[in-house]
Amino acid sequence: MSFVTTKDDVEIFYKDWGPKDARPIMFHHGWPLSSDDWDAQMLFFLQHGFRVVAHDRRGHGRSEQVSGGHDMDHYASDAFAVVEALDLRNVVHIGHSTGGGEVARYVAKYGQPSGRAAKAVLVGAVPPLMLRTEANPEGLPIEVFDGFRAALAANRAQFFRDVPAGPFYGFNRAGISQQEGVIQNWWRQSMMGSAKAHYEGIKAFSETDQTEDLKNITIPTLVLHGEDDQIVPIADSAIKAVALLAKGTLKTYPGFSHGMLTVNAEALNADLLAFVES
């Protein structure tokens, strides 16, 4: 397996598929998953001649289960360690959910200053801010995220079965058939990671205000969001995010869930390809 060592000596697992001289696309996964969550997209873009790269966030998947650094600053720094190690240039960065927050912080702090980031895509992403505050009264109350922490600490295995079987893929909606393989794959990815990283990651994805990150992004950025996203409400994230981006474009999908990149991969892949090639 391939690993990059970060400046604080953390081993980050990554995949690097396709021709080394092809246009690189880098994928950033959501909480509490791994780079495996991008299988449908990585195979699709590989077949279209791109170089595809994805890494497991620290404490997730096959990356080192370190005690600290489970915050957006370290997530972005770790992503840059992979980009530098592989010397990726003219990169399209695509992030889902928490990975969208990672992309926003990465592009603003590392990608643009280094001249390596060309485009960005935020899919069902958490920016600008999920938590309800005085400045963000439309956000979700802290009790929601405290409930996540309590459920994770009490029985992580059961919690990580209930989330994909219910709201993540919209399998709790009337007329939607559950896909057992998809549920089990979500559970498999999640249980590979560290309970501590997952626990502390809840604060990272819910309480990190990324308003300034979005304001500082000047590269073309596509924002994709399912209109029936029960995990990251569209009104609290995508609609606000695109208004803050200098070159932002919003596309929404009626009835699509938070996990649309898996259960609606055909539609997502077509739109991602059109944006990358535009």
Catalytic residues: 97, 229, 258
Q: CA angle, corner 28, sides to 3 and 119, nearest 5?
A: 115
Q: CA angle, corner 95, sides to 220 and 114, nearest 5?
A: 55
d(CA 259, CA 267): 13
- Give the length of the chain: 278
d(CA 221, CA 92): 10
220's CB contacts (< 8 A; 6+ apart) are 119, 120, 247, 249, 275, 278
Crossing angle of helices 180-192 and 142-165, in 10° steps, is 130
62's CB contacts (< 8 A; 6+ apart) are 1, 13, 34, 56, 192
Contact 88, 26 (CB under 8 A): yes
The number of CA neighbours under 13 Å toward the Cβ of 141 is 3
Residue type, 24: P
d(CA 210, CA 253): 24
- Tokens at 193, concatenated: 């990671």
Longest dimension (CA), the chain: 49
- Tokens at 106, concatenated: 């990465």
